[in-house]
Amino acid sequence: MRSKIAGIGKYVPEHVVTNDKLSTLMNTSDEWITERTGIKERRYAKRYEETTATMGAKAALIAIDRAGIEKEDIDFIIFATLSSDYYFPGCGVLLQRELGITKTEIGALDIRNQCTGFIYGISVADQFIRSGMYKNILLVGAEMHSMGLNYSDTGRDISVIFGDGAGAVVLQATEAEGQGILTSKLHSDGTFAEKLALICPGSHGGYYNKYLEEDIDYGFSQDNEFGDVFVTETMLEEGQTFPYMEGKFVFKMAVQKFPEVIMEVLSEADKQPSDINMLIPHQANLRISQFVQKKLGLSDDQVFNNIQKYGNTTAASVPIALCEAWEEAKVKEGDLVCLAAFGSGFTWGATLINW
């Protein structure tokens, strides 16, 4: 028995934010952003009206309907995000509440693997289905980045990349010959965790982090043996509460690990890159996707990219792209589909599916 994707859905906010719009907020331009990332626009959710969980619920309802089941048939929830509504609890239970299925008291699991979250989630769901523990698993990847970006020249390199949105799938068991998830491979290496991270606020004490290239003054009072406030004025003034990324280093790692893990799942399934009907890479940077495509010798028809329209939606990017490719009939029954992602951690992984 294998698990299959029985239904898929996506949701992106209505509000379109172009590169030209961002250039009114910071020193950038459409040409600068497009050249470095391939992004032309992204979507921003309605603040105070939409959240990561509510967007996830909208995508989930579409996936549930396309799976031909009722929301009450869901017996487990997996939610992948780096931008949860609250620091805790996670979005899994908030999604359950949003869908109105709390009476069944099903389990809800939150995954914090950033850009690779959906790939990790599909692997976990696959094992639950194969074991017979659950029958209908709802897996959601959703992000609301717009509420936590630095829209100044200081944060320009990161802020222009990210967008909001959600994607969801329903996984079920299948005994159909040649159908379903063939294999998944997951990896991580925490050696360079701080190269792509949001370090403050955190529970590290704030005085010293031996993994950073240089010590950071977090503005704590070191003579307080009972600890200090969660966020200090220094953190706010110096922008330490925003994401940090060493772009060139991340790019170098991504273009190395993407092809490696894709070849790993292909090898296990006794397949070659030429056998892939559709590769859905995490939409991190169009230049990364193009590098991977060239490295594997894939044609334009074998790779799906939509970062141009939505930016990097991290955990949501793979399911949004997969859903859009399916809606456009670029993913069809019998196709060999590969999903792959690389992100903060560093974590990376790939999944191979007979659709």
Q: In a structure prediction context, what are the per-residue pLDDT tens digits for the chain, which is 355 residues long? A: 899 999 999 999 999 999 999 999 999 999 999 999 999 999 999 999 999 999 999 999 999 999 999 999 999 999 999 999 998 999 999 999 999 999 999 999 999 999 999 999 999 999 999 999 999 999 999 999 999 999 999 899 999 999 999 999 999 999 888 899 999 999 999 999 989 998 877 765 544 466 666 666 666 555 555 555 566 677 777 677 788 889 899 999 999 999 999 999 999 999 999 999 999 999 999 999 999 999 999 999 999 999 999 999 999 999 999 999 999 999 999 999 999 999 999 999 999 999 9
Superfamily (CATH) of domain 2-174: Thiolase/Chalcone synthase (3.40.47.10)
Close Cβ partners of 268 (under 8 Å, ≥ 6 residues apart) = 182, 183, 185, 352
Strand partners, 67: none
Query: Model's pTM, two decimal places?
Result: 0.93
Cis peptide before 259 (omega within 30 of 0): no
Given 312, 323, 338, 354, the catalytic residue: 312
- Structural domain spans, the chain: 2-174, 180-192+245-354, 203-241
In this structure, are residues 268 and 310 in contact, taking their beta carbons and an 8 Å threshold?
no
CA 157/CA 160 separation, integer angstroms = 6
Close Cβ partners of 269 (under 8 Å, ≥ 6 residues apart) = 182, 183, 352
Given 145, 282, 285, 323, the catalytic residue: 282
pLDDT at residue 207, rounded to an integer: 44
CA 19/CA 272 separation, integer angstroms = 38
C-alpha dist (Å) from residue 138 to 60, 112, 156: 7, 16, 35
pLDDT at residue 322, rounded to an integer: 98
Given 115, 200, 323, 338, the catalytic residue: 115
What is the CATH architecture assignment of 180-192+245-354? 3-Layer(aba) Sandwich (3.40)
Asked if 115 is an active-site residue, the reply is: yes
pLDDT at residue 200, rounded to an integer: 77
SS3 249: helix
Domain 180-192+245-354 in the same topology as domain 2-174: yes
pLDDT at residue 65, rounded to an integer: 98
